[in-house]
Amino acid sequence: MKLNRFILAIVFMIGVIFASELNIEESISEKVSLQDENKHLKEKIKKLEVQLQRFTQVKPVVSSAVLPLQSAREKKTVRGAKFVLSTTAPKILTAYYVADYQTVDKVKKKLETNGFLLLSVNEILPHKTVLTFTNAELQKTNSFLSALHLLVNDNSEIRVQNPSYFGAAFLQDKYKYGQFKETLLNLKTVLGEMYESEDKFEFDELADYNFMFGMPDKNDMITVAKGNSLLSRLREENATQYIAYSLQLSNGTTLVGHKLQHKTYAYLKTIKEEHNVQLFPYEVIIRENKAVMLHPKYYLALSLPLLSMTDFMKIASAPAEIVKDIEKAYK
């Protein structure tokens, strides 16, 4: 999958080196001479060529997974393999599981009677309701994986985040495949038969995932607020409208789910990904008097692994809008 992205990266950088709309890098200081700027860009292109050469020497993984640059829009309703619990990591991992439609009320009751704590219910887009829930197994991670999102597409289907996929990405070397056995089995009890979605990525590459060379990874956090009274601010009347839920974790941190503006959610319509709104609400972790969030350029790409460069350019302003929406809660 990354081979196609590196090829695109070189073409993209030569044509529109680090386009400002994508904010791929910080702008080069105006004080740097034109000669130094050209030298800097040439070095970046040379690094990309080295990376491309390395990837062309790797034997491709044979898989039925849809490549991220393939449109595949006509295949959105196609289900993949049926969920089977395994302790052996697959080469390609699905980001979501898909199940038959159930009403929101029915799913709520089944979650609560199968070991899950319901944190919030939010209609992200019309007729697309996201339920956020947690359990003891998820909370032990003390991370952005301490809660999962489940989408009820009215009269259509249900989609839920795969904890194995996001665990491999968020927990990195602390993750062991199969550690969310209880969560997955309980989800199967709630949803019935679950099937892999079309959204997939190589398991071995999730720990150091980024969309392409030069783009943010999991460790490139954004600090949206600082102060010793951040939780108090979120309880103020003018802030509650921006908060979907908060969850106190055992390590003293707090996971906060943020509501975004409707026009921000609408970016998914632009790239025809509104069936995947289960990547919201957007989460922040409050720790050590700081509120930090995953970089949207990382989280959006990770959550939408079929995203192409063209798609990314269509929503180039979305990452900044997401940050702006979240910052409102702390002002």
- Does residue 85 form part of some domain? yes
> Do 125 and 186 fall into the same domain?
yes
Q: Is residue 67 part of a domain?
A: no
What is the token pair recorded at 86? 């395994």
Residue 37's pLDDT is what? 56
**Final residue belonging to a domain, choices 152, 180, 205:** 205
Res 4: pLDDT = 54
User: Do 113 and 36 share a structural domain?
Assistant: no
Identify the band that residue 236 occupies on the pLDDT scale cut at 50, 70 and 90.
Answer: confident
305 and 229: one domain?
A: yes
Q: To the nearest whole number, what is the mean pLDDT of the chain?
A: 84
pLDDT band at 24 (very low <50, low <70, confident <90, very high): very low
Q: Once rounded to an integer, what is the mean pLDDT over residues 238-250?
A: 93
Phi then psi dihedrals of residue 287, to 5 deg:
-150, 140
Say if residue 138 is in the same domain as residue 105.
Answer: yes
Q: Please check whether residues 131 and 199 belong to one and the same domain.
A: yes
User: How many domains are there within the chain?
Assistant: 3
- Span 185-232, pLDDT tens digits: 999 999 999 999 999 999 999 999 999 989 999 999 999 999 988 998
pLDDT exceeds cutoff 60 at 85: yes
Query: 201 and 85 in one domain?
Result: yes
> What pLDDT sits at residue 235?
87
- Higher confidence at residue 87 or residue 216? 216
Do residues 99 and 201 share a domain?
yes
Predicted confidence band of residue 73 (pLDDT cuts 50, 70, 90): very low
Q: Are 171 and 293 within one domain?
A: no
222-226 and 92-94 strand pairing? unpaired
- CA nearest to 251, candidates 224, 287, 222, 225: 287
- pLDDT, tens digit (0-9, with 9 covering 90-100), for 117-171: 999 999 999 999 999 999 999 999 999 999 999 999 999 999 999 999 999 999 9
The boundaries of the domain holding residue 173 are 73-205
Average pLDDT score over residue span 235-250: 91
The reply to whether 121 falls in a domain is: yes
248 and 137 assigned to the same domain: no
Domain C-terminal end among 205, 234, 249: 205
In terms of domains, do 195 and 289 share one? Answer: no
- Domain shared by 8 and 119, yes or no: no
pLDDT band at 331; cut points 50, 70, 90: confident
> Is pLDDT of 55 > 80?
no
pLDDT of residue 154: 92
Q: What is the pLDDT of residue 25?
A: 42
Same domain, 103 and 194: yes
**Whole-angstrom Cα distance, residue 155 to residue 226?**
43
d(CA 34, CA 130): 50
Domain boundary among 205, 239, 262: 205
Q: Domain with 131 in it: what CATH number?
A: 3.30.310
- Whether residue 68 lies inside any domain: the answer is no
Residue 20, domain member (yes or no): yes
pLDDT of residue 238: 80
* Residue-level pLDDT at 279: 96
Tokens for 199?
């959204």
d(CA 13, CA 46): 11
Q: Is residue 61 part of a domain?
A: no
